[in-house]
């Protein structure tokens, strides 16, 4: 579904991504792991068209490298950024409505589904997004992206800074998203979550893919974990 080959990206003169290649198949949960600064978030931003790419990015068989972010989104690729980016002066309901795309009204997700997943959003439906807690804003961002009915959703650090109870809710949501046939590319710092829900894993280091395998293979590879993940 998503095929990235020989991807390079730069911030000014800094060479951030150095030939990154990986794939996400239909219905898979694939995690992109690594220490801070390894290039994981830049990878998502480059796929989404927020950073200029060099290399090949294919989504559902079509080249999307070089497209603008809204053009990528219209092709069915959703993106939940690390900094959430809700509209603080709009209500929760209005934020969710903004996630809908023309022609997608009969998609897999409706507003009632979002309220069922996170009842707190129903309670706060008419409150400005800016009054929500950090965890509630994270829920809102994920749900707003789902309202666009993506075929693949890229999620950047969804559990960062969340209380343990909310971490569990986010994990449950990701599993429910996958159960509806939506592929997930997940950037996650918590190794336990990535190992528990992923079908396959990639580890990044210094802007390159340094490990590819299943959760079981990563558990067994103590050298790779020590070199690229452990602090």
- Alpha carbon separation from 68 to 7, 56, 72 (Å, rounded): 17, 15, 6
Rounded Cα distance, 190 and 176, in Å: 19
User: For a pLDDT cut of 90, what percent of the chain falls above it?
Assistant: 69
Q: What is the pLDDT of residue 161?
A: 78
The least confident of 50-54, 91-95, 98-102, 121-125 is 98-102
- Output the CA torsion 90→92→96→99 (10° steps): 40
Q: What is the pLDDT of residue 168?
A: 85
The least confident of 38-42, 99-103, 164-168, 172-176 is 99-103
pTM: 0.91
Question: Does the pLDDT of residue 166 top 70, yes or no?
Answer: yes
Among the CATH numbers 3.40.50.300, 3.40.630.30, 3.10.20.90, 3.90.226.10, which is that of 2-228? 3.40.50.300
**Residue located via tokens 């580890």:** 203
Rounded Cα distance, 195 and 203, in Å: 12
Model pLDDT for residues 40-76, shown as the tens digit of each residue: 999 999 999 999 999 999 999 999 998 999 999 999 9
Rounded mean pLDDT, 14-27:
95
Rounded Cα distance, 28 and 194, in Å: 13
Rounded Cα distance, 159 and 135, in Å: 8
Rounded Cα distance, 1 and 129, in Å: 33
The CB-side HSE value for 17 (13 A sphere, CA atoms) comes to 26
Rounded Cα distance, 147 and 108, in Å: 8
Q: What is the pLDDT of residue 207?
A: 96
Q: What is the pLDDT of residue 106?
A: 64
The least confident of 49-53, 162-166, 171-175 is 162-166
The least confident of 78-82, 89-93, 207-211 is 78-82
Q: What is the pLDDT of residue 14?
A: 93
Strands (E), the chain: 2-11, 14-24, 29-33, 53-59, 62-63, 77-80, 152-156, 183-187, 200-205, 208-213
DSSP H or E segment with residue 101: none
User: For a pLDDT cut of 70, what percent of the chain falls above it?
Assistant: 97
End-to-end alpha-carbon separation of the chain, Å?
A: 33
Model pLDDT for residues 112-146, shown as the tens digit of each residue: 988 988 888 999 999 999 999 888 888 899 999 99
Rounded mean pLDDT, 8-30:
95
CB 151 within 8 Å of CB 76:
yes
Domain regions of the chain by residue span: 2-228
């Amino acid at each position: 579904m998503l095929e990235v080959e020989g991807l390079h990206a730069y911030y000014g003169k800094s060479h951030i991504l150095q030939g990154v290649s990986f794939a996400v198949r239909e219905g898979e949960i694939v995690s992109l792991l690594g220490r801070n600064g390894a290039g994981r978030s830049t990878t998502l931003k480059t796929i989404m068209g927020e950073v200029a790419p060099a290399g090949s990015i294919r989504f559902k068989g079509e080249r999307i490298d070089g497209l603008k972010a809204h053009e990528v989104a219209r092709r069915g690729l959703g993106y939940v950024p690390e900094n959430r980016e809700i509209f603080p002066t709009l209500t929760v309901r209005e934020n969710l409505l903004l996630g809908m795309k023309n022609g997608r009204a009969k998609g897999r997700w409706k507003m009632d589904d979002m309220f069922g997943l996170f009842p707190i959003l129903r309670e706060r439906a008419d409150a400005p997004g800016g009054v929500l807690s950090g965890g509630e804003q994270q829920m809102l961002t994920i749900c707003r992206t789902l309202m666009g009915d993506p075929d693949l959703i890229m999620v950047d650090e969804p559990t960062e800074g969340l209380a343990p109870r909310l971490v569990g809710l986010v994990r449950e949501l990701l599993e429910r998203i996958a159960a509806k046939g939506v592929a997930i590319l997940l950037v996650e710092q918590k190794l336990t979550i990535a190992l528990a829900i992923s079908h396959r894993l990639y580890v990044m280091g210094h802007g390159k893919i340094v490990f590819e395998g299943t959760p079981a293979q990563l558990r067994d590879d103590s050298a790779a974990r020590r070199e690229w993940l452990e602090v």
